[in-house]
Amino acid sequence: MYRTRLFAIRHSGKFEWMYQRLEKLMIVLDPVFARIGYNRVEQPVALIEKGVKGLLFDCKMCGQCVLSSTGMSCPMNCPKELRNGPCGGVRPGGYCEVKPNMLCVWALAWDGSTRMKGGNKIREVLPPVDRSLKGSSAWLRVSREKAAKLREARESARTTIAQAFPAARANEPSSAPLAEEPSRAVNKEQRQ
Ligand code: SF4
């Protein structure tokens, strides 16, 4: 698993691309999930997520995935579970202070971020881990939140357009002037 984790960090740019596609797909599927019931799909999706991310990233299913902000290096593998790292104890060669045989999760995170389009996200301070979300599907929660935001934006755009109509009607002239007839049409009538 450790080797796969290193592989994922070496190919963080490709995994970032795949993650973005997956998120888009999950957003498209939002009406389907809503119809079935998010509480019903939670368990099967969480199981798939656990399998895939466990294999690729040694994911611990914290429920608030930050891989896209940490160079695809899961911070839950840091023995101190630091959410903003690294700590001050990184050994020479980038090895962990607590586990000397393991490369520092955060040193790897900074490395992985350099290969990602959104790599600068690593500079944003991450909130502390919310333990109540442990075991839940981060994929489902994030895509559900994004789908709700998109819906809200669409509804607000429609409301703005609908509200603009009465004002436009009030300003519009009672009878619009007719456009001039094309000269060819006029000549045709005269010919008849
Ligand atoms: S050296 Fe890195 S992985 Fe080890 S405890 Fe510190 S931040 Fe975590």
Residue bearing the CA closest to ligand 1, atom 4: 96
d(CA 37, CA 41): 7
The pLDDT value recorded for residue 186 is: 58
pLDDT digits (tens, 9 = 90+) for 34-61: 999 999 999 999 999 999 999 999 999 9
Cα 171 to middle of ligand 1, angstroms: 66
Centre a 10 Å sphere on the Cβ of residue 46 and count the other Cβ atoms it contains: 18
d(CA 10, CA 115): 8
Residues of the chain predicted below pLDDT 50: none
Q: What would you report as the CA-atom Rg of the chain, rounded to the nearest whole angstrom?
A: 27
Structural tokens at position 19: 């993650």
78 lines ligand 1 (CB under 6 A): yes
Residue bearing the CA closest to ligand 1, atom 6: 87
User: Which amino acid is present at 165?
Assistant: F
